[in-house]
Amino acid sequence: MVVASSELLAPVFKPLIQELETKVRQVEENVSAGVPASRKDLELYIWKTGRVVRLLVKPEASPAREIFWSECKGILKQCLAIEHFNAGVFRPECVQKDILETHLLKMLEKLLDYTRRRLSGQIAPPDEVQTVESAAKRARLAKEEKEAEEKKKLEQDWAKQDQAWASWRGGQELQTRWDDVDSDPGEECPDKAKTGSCSYGRQCGFCYR
């Protein structure tokens, strides 16, 4: 199993970060100027971006570099049609249709941020070349892990609430219902006191409490 660790790829990450920082500044200035580039210039710039990334990564040099190149392609495909991309030959069809400089800027910023986080170890390196299927699997596993963590947290919160409720109940004195105890237990039947016998029989609330 090959792991494309940050230590192995440090010689790739640092020059790539420098190159991407330069390109981000260039595109930001162009966008701020409000003068859109022609489609031809934009296509050429995007192709050159993919070309320089590949030249710096050198995926053929080692399995770790090949894995990282597959990670880069996952971001570059926002502007590049990877299936038509060739680092040695420029073709207009290697650039996605309806791409604007703002899309290019977002892609560059995302790749720059990703590379920085890979260098710092914030993003765990994959152990295989990233294909569409493996990327989807990785995203699914990350989603399942997040859902499991949320479920566990929710269960812990409910357990804490149950414990707090049980403690509160245990600290309360047992309340007696108003009709559980006679209001005047020593009071004699008025009818019996007057005549010596009760004329109400079992319906008398004093004789039959």
Residue type at position 88: G
Q: How far is 203 from 209, CA to CA, in rounded Å?
A: 10
Report pLDDT for 78: 96
CA-based nearest residue to 46, from 89, 113, 88, 108: 108
Q: Which whole-number Å values give the CA distances from 209 to 48, 70, 180, 192, 201, in the listed order?
A: 99, 88, 11, 15, 12
Report pLDDT for 187: 67
Report pLDDT for 178: 47
Location of structure tokens 């790739």 = 12
Residue type at position 37: A
φ/ψ of 201, rounded to 5, equals 65, -140
The model's pLDDT over 68-118, given as tens digits with 9 standing for 90+, comes to: 999 999 999 999 999 999 999 999 999 999 999 999 999 999 999 999 999
Regions of the chain where pLDDT drops below 70: 1-6, 131-139, 169-187, 206, 208-209
Report pLDDT for 159: 84
Concatenating the DSSP letter of every residue in 38-89 gives PHHHHHHHHHHHHHHHHHHH-TTS-HHHHHHHHHHHHHHTTTB-GGG--TTS
**Can you count the helices (H) and strands (E) in the chain?**
6, 0
Residue 95 β-bridge partners: 80
pTM above 0.85, yes or no: no
Report pLDDT for 1: 45
Distance between first and last Cα of the chain: 85
What's the distance, CA 36 to chain centroid?
Answer: 35
Q: Tell me the chain's radius of gyration from C-alpha atoms.
A: 38
Q: How far is 13 from 20, CA to CA, in rounded Å?
A: 10
| Residue 204 and residue 189 in contact, taking contact as beta carbons nearer than 8 Å | yes
Q: Which whole-number Å values give the CA distances from 81 to 86, 93, 96, in the listed order?
A: 10, 7, 5
